[in-house]
Structure 1
Amino acid sequence: MKAWNARLAGTAATGALIIGALAGCSSNSSTATNSAGGSGNVPLVVYSSQGYDSAVTKAFTKATGIPVSLDDDSTGPLLAKVAAERNNPQWGLLWVDGDTAFAELDQQGQLLDYNPNVTLTAAGQTLVPTDHAYIPVSTTAVPALIYNAAKVSAVPTTWQDLLDPQYKGKIGMNDPSQSGPTFPLIAGLMNQLGGQSGGVAAGEAFLTKLKANGLVVHPTNGDTLHALETGQIDYGLIQSSAAMGEVATAKTSANFQPKVVYLGTTTLLPGVIGIDKGASAQVQKEAEKFVQYVLSAAGQHVMQTGDPTGDSLYWPILPGIDPVADAGTMPATYQRIDPSFWGPLEGQVNTFFDSNIK
């Protein structure tokens, strides 16, 4: 994979300046220890579900001297941990896909308002909250429809197509209680079908029909992709980066040839960073520097090379930075759902899904 492109290389000088500024702001530009003493820095505790987070945190420490304690896990367990720690947060910075959870944390008063003052693409600008309570740093989309072109020729183009009898028992998706990208996927479906006034009811009715047409539910992206590879299903509704990673790495044969399409208006799924409002002033400053690093050319380079067949297959929201080739082209028609409306409905929607669709 060509993970670093000519246009991004052209911004390397800017990235170098940002790194220098970050290093200059830290109290010690050498590699810091994981203790509060000596360097003057305290460890920045990062909760993250991103596949490239280890590479990024190591590069950040090398650039700034700020030590990082990384807790890497899937989105669901991390958000459960954040909720359990509400009265005594152990994290300084949270980095996962999807802004609905951050909108809810913002409503609870847990996030620090921070505006990094970085120019973003048109798509990126739509993802920025008005109060700057969290920061979008990338985007993927949900759902990408991945299908086995070696077995089927029918390619759905709308959600309604999936209810056709020819797709009966052939479609799989993830469980929103376990898969972080799947609640935003469902919220996006509901938003398309009925907006904020009637979307929940319309979405529940549609999912009920899809279940009657043989929808198969798997825990996460990997399970849905395994079902596709082994012929249990022929179509999967998953996150775009996971779908494109499968296309890039799959061993194609006479029986398996994965391809990806998007259904009408797809939903943007941003990669988002939030900073703990209750953290010490020093930790907050370190977290702000981390955001600045991630939104620099150097930070984006590490993101695009840190998980080349997985989460690195995102679409950058910084002008002048192209996605890696295997990410494919961002859908021309997309929506951004209102996270402040849909976020608080996650429990209700997931409970319905657990009781009626799984």
Structure 2
Amino acid sequence: MNFKAVLLGCTLLAPGMALAEDVTVQVWGSTWKSLLEPLSQRFEAETGIKVEVVTQSSSGEGLVKLQAERANPTVDVWFTTNSVAAKASKDQELFTKIPAAEVPNTAGLLPGAFNEDWVAMYYYPMGIIYDVDAVPAEPTSWEDLWKPEYAGSIIAPSMSIYQGSLLLVANELNGGAIDNVDPGFEALEKLNPNVSLYYTSDSQARQSVAQGEGSILIGQSAHFRRLKDEGLNVKMIAPKPAPMYFDVMMMVNGDNQANAAKFINFVVSEQEQQILADAEYMTPVHAGVKVPASLADIMPAEGAGIVFDDQKIAEEIADWNARFESIATR
């Protein structure tokens, strides 16, 4: 055997191609820096498996990338939201089922935090985050956001991020149903003058608040924590109906599934979930980990949280997005 040739071949592996003791994850850049990069260092120290990262600005963009390379996948574990996962999991050529026997730590997770298609890393509510020093008046409910004093003050999610959460909240407030979102769109028409920006990524949302483009952010708990870390005097409320989401891990149907399963199992271990809780960015999904007061204080009151129909959203989101764009671009 020509060992020089073998060595040369190894050094010429295509970028992004994982070695036998690597695992490649695709995740949002902000999530990687704050949560997964230090976790990955601990994972490598314990297992010897190095974590490579590919970043995505949104789940939708990430899915398009994975679909484009389905014949020769370079990603092993994909991070997305549970709502996007509901649609993506139907593609069993691209994704594979979670091997329960290889991910035993799922036994300690909260009900609903995993299924055969994905495993959650954490969960969080969508709510109202506001700059106490800049907001005209402190909001106490979703309905407040339609008040004229908030004209040009709101930074809101576009339809492409958080899967229509703003539409569905507006729809609930105005008597709509998942099969009839006309009341929600009518409400968004009325809200539009109060919106200064519709954001398409988490980093854009936070930067817009920090730069003073608005004093109210419709966002999630990690936005709140990072803005606090940047020194802003922000508060967060999660009034009824507060959309609840999981960020989840899916396994790509490639040749590195063993390492992918090891990584997922490590992420949901009680030890790592406790570290996640201590970081106070997201709410852990391990039943044995106590939620810190800083997170418990911004969670919805009992009965105020709502989980929307992921399958229905997946079916309708493209049409909703086209309809939303006609409002957002006025």
* TM bin (shorter chain): 0.7 to 0.9
Cα distance between partner residues in 2 of 1:103 and 1:232:
34
Q: Give CA-to-partner distance per residue, 1:320-350, whole Å, 9 cap, x none.
A: 3134554453222211222222123333223
Mapped to 1, the partners of 2:211 and 2:257 lie a distance apart of 47
- Cα 1:63/1:46, change in 2 over 3 Å: same
TM-score by length of 2: 0.78
Residue identity opposite 1:342 in structure 2: I
Match of 2:300 in 1: 331
Check whether the contact 2:273–2:286 (CA below 8 A) recurs between aligned residues: no
Matched, 1:265 2:241: yes
Match of 1:300 in 2: 273
| 1:44-193 correspondence to structure 2 within 5 Å | 44-49=23-28, 50-51=31-32, 52-76=35-59, 77-96=61-80, 98-109=81-92, 110-114=94-98, 115=100, 116=103, 118-119=106-107, 124-129=110-115, 132-142=116-126, 144-152=127-135, 154-177=137-160, 180=161, 182-186=162-166, 188-189=168-169, 192-193=172-173
Find the aligned partners of 1:272 and 1:187 in 2 and give their Cα distance: 22
1:139-168: CA deviation from partner (whole Å, max 9, x where unpaired): 1221x2111222446333333322222222
Q: Matched residues in 1 for 2:143 and 2:47: separation?
A: 51
TM-score, reference length from structure 1: 0.73
User: What CA distance in whole angstroms lies between the structure 1 residues aligned with 2:207 and 2:77?
Assistant: 32
Q: State the partner residue of 2:284.
A: 316
Separation of aligned partners in 2, 1:35 and 1:274: 28
Q: 1:34 to 1:291 in 2, by over 3 A?
A: farther
- Amino acid paired to 1:291: I
* CA–CA distance in structure 1, aligned partners of residues 231 and 185 of structure 2: 34
Counterpart-to-counterpart distance in 1, 2:108 and 2:322 = 36
1:195 is paired with a residue of what secondary structure? coil
Contact 1:35 1:43 in 2 (8 A): no
Moved more, 57-66 or 266-275: 57-66
Look up the equivalent residue of 2:73 and give its one-letter code.
Answer: P
User: Given the alignment of the two structures, is residue 279 of structure 1 paired with residue 254 of structure 2, yes or no?
Assistant: yes
Secondary structure of the equivalent of 1:203?
helix
Are the equivalent residues in 1 in contact too, given 2:210–2:227 (CA < 8 A)? Answer: no
Counterpart CA distance in 1 for 2:172 and 2:11 is 47
236, 241, 266: which is aligned to 2:222? 241
> Whole-Å Cα distance in 2 between the matches of residues 102 and 219 of structure 1?
18
Residues 88/354 of structure 1: CA separation in 2 closer, same or farther (3 Å cut): farther
Are the counterparts in 1 of residues 168 and 184 from structure 2 also a CA contact under 8 Å?
A: no
Give the aligned partner of residue 28 of structure 1: none
What CA distance in whole angstroms lies between the structure 2 residues aligned with 1:99 and 1:236? 22
Structure 2 gap segments, 5+ residues each = 1-9, 14-18
Q: Is the 1:175–1:218 Cα contact (8 Å) retained in structure 2? A: yes
Return the letter of the residue paired with 2:62. L
- Report how many aligned residue pairs link the two structures: 300
| Equivalent residue runs for 1:17-32 within 5 Å | none
C-alpha change, 1:135 and 1:184, in structure 2 (3 Å) is farther
Distance 1:34 1:196, change over 3 A: farther
**Shift of residue 213 of structure 1?**
4.1
Query: Sequence identity of aligned pairs in percent?
Result: 20
Distance 2:77 2:204 in 1: 29
Alpha-carbon deviation of 1:215? 4.8
Measure, in 2, the Cα distance between the counterparts of 1:108 and 1:313: 31
CA RMSD after TM alignment: 3.0
Among 257, 264, 281, the residue aligned to 1:291: 264
Instruction: Output the CA distance in 1 between the equivalents of 2:84 and 2:284.
Output: 21
Larger displacement relative to structure 2 (151-160 or 284-293): 151-160
Residues in 2 aligned to 1:92 and 1:140: alpha-carbon distance in whole angstroms? 25
Structure 1 gaps, min length 5:
1-32, 252-256
1:43 and 2:22 matched: yes
Distance 1:81 1:46, change over 3 A: same
Change (3 A) 1:214 1:239: closer
Query: What's the CA shift for 1:75?
Result: 2.5
